A = this chain, B = another copy of it.
Amino acid sequence: MNEIKIFAPATVANISCGFDVLGCCLDGIGDEMIIRKSSKKGVRITKIIGEKLPLETENNVAGVAALALLNKLNKEIDFGFEIEIYKNIKPGSGVGSSAASAAGTVFAINKLLDEPFSILELVEFSREGERLACGSPIADNVAPALFGGFTLVKSTNPLEVIQLPTLPDLYVVIIHPQIEIKTSDSRAVLPTTISLEIATRQWANLGSLVHALHVENYELFSASLVDFIVEPHRSKLIPDFDKVKEASVQAGALGCGISGSGPSMFAFCKGNQVADNVSNAISEVYQRTQIPYHVYTSKINTQGVKII
């Protein structure tokens, strides 16, 4: 195999009660990438379509992740890799654009090298792309992008990722308002300290959400999708967040929250009929604003990056 074409999925991180640890992988939104062996050693980004992003390997998340992988390879190879990126996920949208590029790249190169690395190692390499993108080697988007389904980042140092079960009939509706929230702003609104009592309620919900996934209890999953800590602050940066949330729940969503650090919002739904209703309901909210937006509906992607 000399060339591989893949689907690099979008992901939702910071799922409500699971700030910084809980993410899931999407099917309906993602980039496409072609990675091929080349006779020239090293890693080159040869094409980026759809977004204006750096082509220099060291300045591109895909390039940096690829280099991290190759640095850990314990044998000399006499060829290199070319990467073509067809972006559908807008950087800064809150659904893991940089994670998709990084995860897709290392997945593909690992395949082309006959899989010397485990999925967890691929997450480790992809985090180097995240370090370039946001200054910190976060794993909560790259983990679900590579493992698929729901993942819990138990620890970042050392990296420990748990693959959680998913609910079979679960859909995610994403609304992406076409606005920019600066990373510095979304960080600045975060509290640095929180009350022990509120923290206790948050971890009770995360525990019960994990249980709900195991026992396939949609009602408990819904009741656990609560964020007492981050959402009250970050939601102020997103126009009409409260209206979107209310409309989605009224249309039958199991819960709604901020995807990553926004501005995208997610709504979990049981079944595609409810997802359609929720998609319409939250679109209506944004039609009343002057803000352009995109809405996507997706099943949970239990596989992660896929060969296409």
List residues of chain A with CB under 8 Å of any chain B CB.
17-22, 152-155, 160, 162, 164, 190-196, 199-211, 214, 220, 223-224, 229
What is the copy number of this chain in the assembly? 2
Q: What are the 8 A-B residue pairs with the smallest beta carbon separation, nearest first?
A: A203-B203, A214-B214, A199-B199, A210-B210, A21-B204, A193-B193, A154-B208, A20-B200
For the complex, give the distance between the alpha carbons of A112 and B164 in Å: 43
- In the complex formed, the residue of B with least CB distance to A198 is B199
Q: Are A200 and B21 in contact (CB under 8 A)?
A: yes
Q: Are A22 and B194 in contact (CB under 8 A)?
A: no
A-B contact pairs, 12 of them (CB 8 A): A19-B196, A19-B200, A21-B200, A152-B207, A152-B208, A155-B201, A162-B211, A162-B220, A192-B196, A203-B203, A207-B207, A210-B210
For the complex, give the distance between the alpha carbons of A190 and B201 in Å: 16
Residues of chain B with a CB closer than 8 A to A203's CB:
17-18, 21, 199, 202-203, 206-207
For the complex, give the distance between the alpha carbons of A148 and B196 in Å: 27
Residues of chain B with a CB closer than 8 A to A17's CB:
203
Q: Are A195 and B196 in contact (CB under 8 A)?
A: no
Q: Are A164 and B211 in contact (CB under 8 A)?
A: yes
Distance to closest chain B CB from A181 (angstroms) = 19
For the complex, give the distance between the alpha carbons of A180 and B205 in Å: 33
Distance to closest chain B CB from A24 (angstroms) = 13
Known: A162-B220, A202-B199. A21 touches B207 (CB 8 A): yes
Q: Are A195 and B195 in contact (CB under 8 A)?
A: no
Residues of chain B with a CB closer than 8 A to A22's CB:
207
For the complex, give the distance between the alpha carbons of A200 and B220 in Å: 21
Q: Are A211 and B214 in contact (CB under 8 A)?
A: yes
Distance to closest chain B CB from A281 (angstroms) = 27
Of the candidates B152, B195, B204, B224, the one whose C-beta lies within 8 Å of that of A204 is B152
Q: Are B192 and A194 in contact (CB under 8 A)?
A: no
Distance to closest chain B CB from A195 (angstroms) = 6
- In the complex formed, the residue of B with least CB distance to A215 is B214
Distance to closest chain B CB from A8 (angstroms) = 25
